[in-house]
């Protein structure tokens, strides 16, 4: 049950961030729009060629993301897309949304302009994303936003700090990591060829990521929870520290009272005046710390002085010999 609640929290926070990003205004600059649609193509797109027909498919299980892809494509290119809903497998709930672009010459011209594929004698070749997406900050942020919408998730900050992006290939994962590093965000990549993953796993990196992709509401919610969580952790540390100190005080007092009991009243009277005074203060104040006992003495003495005198009491109780002498 606890695991189910944790998964639900992650899905809820991740969904709210994706909703905010997918429903935000499209970038004003055409180059940033191109960066975003290119990222969608790499992370969620597939090219199909059958006979003389060519089609580009974008698939998403998040309706606002599918609508964003649809609107971006319509704004950028003359070849009109269609958006369809289709049922997923029995093992998966809900529907997947397909943005489908078809057209022979027109689509081929767009794909060449996008620079995603090159056609050679033995078929099409997938190309690397353009360098300009790395070099321009606004384009880099738009590219990163689309990669997250297409295949990313973020954990609920109440349970941990973690962002994952599944870019589709190891080569593309390393490209996405380069964008993150370019934006000053620490990121790592798993080395799996089958299911590569770009991930962030500390609070500062996750906060910087939300800021980079312009998830303003998500960032505010994240920082609020992060502050409360840090305060709670700090309070717990203080309470634990105070409890540990109290346990230490109690253990010391119990040991000292046991030593004094072992000595007995007659032998306590043979102690030096200072040791005798501290012994009586201890018996009257069993919960006091060594520092507090020192402050009660007349004149007051330091904690180390109190420790010295009770160390002598312990030695005397252990060997049954005479007590410490002198008035120190």
CB 147 within 8 A of CB 176: yes
In the chain, what percentage of residues exceed pLDDT 70?
Answer: 88
Q: 148 in a domain, yes or no?
A: yes
In a domain, 303, yes or no: yes
**36 and 185 together in one domain:** yes
Residues 105 and 177 in one domain: yes
Domain boundary among the residues 214, 229, 258 is at 214
The model's confidence at residue 235, banded by pLDDT at 50, 70 and 90, is confident
The Cα 207–Cα 215 span in angstroms is 10
Look at residue 326 and tell me whether its pLDDT is greater than 60: no
Dihedrals phi, psi of 322, to nearest 5 degrees: -70, 155
208 and 285 co-located in one domain: no
Say whether both 61 and 183 belong to one domain.
yes
Q: Residue 284 is encoded by which pair of tokens? A: 């009257």
Identify the residue whose tokens are 């507090």: 292
253 domain residue, yes or no = yes
The helix or strand, by DSSP H or E, that contains position 30, with its residue range, turns out to be helix 30-44
Q: At what angle do helices 2-23 and 137-151 cross, to 10 degrees?
A: 140
pLDDT digits (tens, 9 = 90+) for 154-195: 999 988 899 999 988 888 999 999 999 999 999 999 877 778
- How many independent structural domains does the chain possess? 2
Looking at residues 96-125, what average pLDDT do you find? 78
Pair (197, 303) in one structural domain: no
73 and 156 within one domain: yes
- Look up the domain containing 297 and give its range: 238-319
Whether residues 107 and 255 share a domain: the answer is no
Nearest 10 degrees: Cα torsion 137, 138, 144, 150: -160
Q: How confident is the model at residue 9 (pLDDT cuts 50, 70, 90)?
A: low
């Amino acid at each position: 049950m606890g695991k189910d609640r944790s998964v639900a929290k992650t899905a809820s926070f991740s969904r709210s961030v994706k909703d905010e990003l997918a429903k935000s205004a499209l970038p004003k600059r055409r180059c940033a729009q191109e960066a975003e649609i290119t990222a969608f193509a790499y992370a969620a797109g597939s090219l199909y060629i059958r006979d003389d027909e060519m089609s580009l498919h974008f698939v998403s299980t998040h309706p606002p993301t599918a609508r964003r892809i649809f609107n971006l494509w319509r704004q950028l290119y003359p070849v009109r897309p269609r958006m369809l809903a289709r049922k997923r497998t029995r093992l998966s709930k809900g529907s997947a949304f397909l943005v489908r672009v078809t057209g022979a010459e027109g689509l081929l011209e767009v794909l060449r302009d996008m620079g995603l594929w090159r056609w050679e004698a033995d078929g099409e070749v997938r190309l690397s994303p353009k360098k300009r997406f790395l070099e321009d900050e606004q384009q880099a942020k738009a590219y990163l936003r689309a990669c997250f919408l297409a295949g990313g998730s973020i954990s609920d900050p109440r349970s941990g700090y973690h962002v994952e992006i599944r870019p589709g290939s190891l080569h593309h994962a390393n490209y996405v990591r380069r964008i993150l590093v370019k934006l000053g965000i620490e990121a790592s990549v798993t080395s799996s060829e089958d299911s590569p993953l770009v991930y962030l796993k500390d609070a500062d990196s996750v906060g910087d990521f939300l800021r980079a992709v312009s998830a303003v509401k998500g960032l505010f919610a994240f920082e609020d929870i992060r502050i409360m969580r840090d305060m709670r952790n700090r309070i717990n540390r203080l309470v634990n520290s105070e409890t540990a100190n109290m346990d230490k005080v109690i253990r010391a007092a119990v040991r000292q009272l046991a030593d004094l009991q072992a000595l007995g009243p007659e032998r306590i009277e043979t102690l030096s005046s200072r040791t005798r005074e501290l012994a009586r203060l201890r018996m009257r104040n069993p919960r006091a710390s060594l520092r507090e006992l020192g402050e009660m003495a007349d004149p007051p003495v330091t904690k180390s002085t109190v420790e010295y005198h009770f160390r002598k009491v312990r030695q005397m109780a252990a060997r049954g010999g005479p007590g410490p002498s002198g008035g120190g």
